[in-house]
Amino acid sequence: MSLETAVERITLDLDRPFTIARGTETTAENVIVRVVDEGGMAGIGAASPAERYGETAATVEAVLPELLSIVEDVGDPHALSAIERRMRDAVRDNPAARAAVSIALHDLVAKRLGVPLHRLWGLDPAATPRTSYTVGLDDPDEMADRARNAVESGYPILKVKLGTDRDRERLEAVRSAAPEATIRVDANEAWTPKEAVRKSQWLADLGVEFLEQPVPAENPEGLRFVYERSALPIAADESCVTVADVPRIADRCDIANLKLMKAGGLREARRMIATAHAHGLEVMIGCMIESNASIAAAAQLAPRCTYADLDGSLLVSGDPFEGIDLTEGRVHLETQDRPGTGVRE
Ligand code: MG
């Protein structure tokens, strides 16, 4: 058996500048990985590197030759355990680069077996939660417009980015524009613990469902302080990067937000889900600004998660890939009968 591999960088244009507490982005660089078997069948994956976790498209491209040489050396796409272990030994960091290879291999394996990936895992498509739609930081009126448009377009769950001095004004504007919406708030590490506890009170009064990453990941005691006093359930994102983080956050949050680009691949993500459940945590499957080439893979795990935040590909234009139908926020796995992750060029 032999495998060929290829790498291609793509630039995704965001429909509008995307601002969170850390900064603003107008494009997202993704790196596409293809793994092709001797019959010409291709598995497709993608990396969406995040500088928050020390990666850029350049670092992904720098390590992919080493990772793909492991794939070619093993030569058998079904040897997922051996390949992913060797990749982790070779480059311990660089999770988005490893995720791209993991996704391409899983896509290829399921295609070779002729089944959608979630079917290979025995998951129930009907158990898939609806995805949220993200409203980035902007002027209150602009955020209200976006919230209204999202709800009118059929997205009933909003994830609202906060983390500035005008948080309350912004969220009140969003709530007025979307009185019936389920609203989740993500502060992206921007608050102090006391500030987060205080703000959780009026967030609860405005009917917010839960609060994500209120304080910096570097302050685990602060996260515990908020968790013990917050008026809302707490989700951990930046505090929950790899499977080793799950036991560390288990007594200081309610929900683990996992992403393929943090975990380093689908096998690691599945370990994280199992570990989180074993520690009594609920799981949200999240994403970066990503092509459908990787969102489609994350969607395959959604039936095992309570919450989904998979709108990364909805925020960009010019994605060369199609993936899972996310119309009205529904992760339509039940209509994905294409083998693999469901990605299509
Ligand atoms: Mg987040």
Q: Give residue-wise pLDDT tens across range 34-45.
A: 999 999 999 999
What's residue 1's pLDDT?
79
Of 115, 140, 173, the last residue of a domain is 115
Give yes or no: residues 283 and 241 share one domain.
yes
CA 290 / ligand 1 centre spacing (Å): 14
Is 328 designated active site? Answer: no
Annotated catalytic residue within 111, 159, 161, 262: 161
pLDDT of residue 95: 97
199 is catalytic: no
CATH number for the domain that contains residue 163 = 3.20.20.120
pLDDT at 92 over 90: no
pLDDT for 161 equals 98
Q: Examine the domain organization and report whether 145 and 26 are in the same domain.
A: no
In a domain, 343, yes or no: no
What pLDDT, on a 0 to 100 scale, did the predictor assign at position 152? 97
Mean of pLDDT values over 241-261:
98
pLDDT of residue 160: 98
Among 60, 68, 128, CA closest to 102: 68
pLDDT (mean) for 154-170:
96
Residue 345 domain flag: no
Distance 113 CA to ligand 1 centre (A): 35
Residue 51 is classified by DSSP as: G
pLDDT of residue 337: 87
Annotated catalytic residue 259 = yes
Q: Which residues contact 259 (CB under 8 A, 6 or more apart)?
A: 237, 269, 285, 286, 287, 288, 298
Give the model's confidence band at 210: pLDDT under 50 very low, under 70 low, under 90 confident, else very high: very high
For residue 218, being part of any structural domain is answered with yes
Contact of 239 with 220, CB cutoff 8 Å: yes
Active site residue 186: yes
How far away, in angstroms, is 253 Cα from ligand 1 center?
A: 14
Helix H or strand E encompassing 212: strand 208-212
Residues having C-beta closer than 5 Å to ion ligand 1: 186, 237
Query: What's the pLDDT tens digit per position in 314-341?
Result: 999 989 999 999 999 999 998 888 999 9
Å from CA of 213 to ligand 1 middle? 6
The last residue of one of the domains, among 73, 91, 115, is 115
| 186 and 57 in a common domain | no
- Reading the block at residue 48, the tokens are 């969406």
Q: Number of structural domains, the chain? A: 2
pLDDT in tens, 126-150: 999 999 999 999 999 999 999 999 9
